[in-house]
Amino acid sequence: MTYFKKSEWLAERLGQAGLVIVDTRYALNDSEAGIRAYAEAHIPGAYYLKLSHDLSGPKRPGGEGGRHPLPEPAALAEVLGRIGIGRSTTVISYDDQGGAMASRLRWLLQWIGHDGDVFLLEGGFAAWQAAGHPVSSETPAVVEGITYEPVVQNGLLISQAEVRAKIGQAGTVIIDSREAPRYRGEVEPLDPAAGHIPGAINRFWNEGKRADGTWKSPEEQAERFAGLSKDDEIIVYCGSGVTATPNVFALQDAGFRNVKLYAGSWSDWSSDVENPVAVGDEEKA
């Protein structure tokens, strides 16, 4: 079963019981842009969750945990309950950032053991509008009486210390999901140091989509990761644990089962000056 749905699928199910729509639009250079866009127009019935508030925890001293630390499971569960998401609810998430923010929510739900289906809206809000579907500026009411019971799947995560110990280890592949210039250390607009984790290979997350913006098939995703063994432990990171999540799902779609997210990612790694940094291209897998 694919993890994305087209706007026609959602249009036919607006208002359906057991389905919650979540708007996750967010601009890294303007933290209020998403909520402004939501207030102006959104899919009818959609709730808004903000990356830096609802889908992340508070920033920690010294940059530990990165720019978007994971939220505490109990705090995330409270947020989910008030927008009507229980453990078996079907969720469809959208953004206008190519699916990166929507994927963050989908990964968080996987992390806390969600039982229901979680989909991304293919093409995001722009595709919804382009198809001529209705929009709304009304904010739906907070839902009462739903308590989300998280069952945390910590095997989906890996810590900075564990990543450090895995560098160069046989049977482990580290994937950097950022654009190539950031991976190579040619530019670094956000974090303390430029470069990448030594030994990491580069697979830019947005290459998981076709030229028209649709997500690639499992077979096409497998081609992106050709040369990697299904027996390998795959560690995926990006700048702050957000755009790595589409790569996590691409790998899972391609049949890789031992895939872990380094949630703090480069922003966490580069906050510690003792951590080694590599620049340039690593040998391709």
Instruction: State the catalytic residues.
Output: 238
* End-to-end CA separation in angstroms for the chain: 28
Taking phi first (over 0 means left), then psi (-120 to 50 degrees means alpha), and beta for anything else, what does residue 279 get?
Answer: beta
Cα–Cα distance measured from residue 285 to residue 282, given in angstroms and rounded to the nearest whole number: 9
Q: Which strands form 259-261's sheet, in the order they lie side by side?
A: 201-202, 172-176, 233-237, 259-261
159, two tokens: 């810590």
The beta strands (E) that lie in the chain are given as 4-5, 19-23, 47-48, 90-94, 118-121, 172-176, 201-202, 233-237, 259-261
226, two tokens: 């050709």
Cα–Cα distance measured from residue 109 to residue 123, given in angstroms and rounded to the nearest whole number: 21
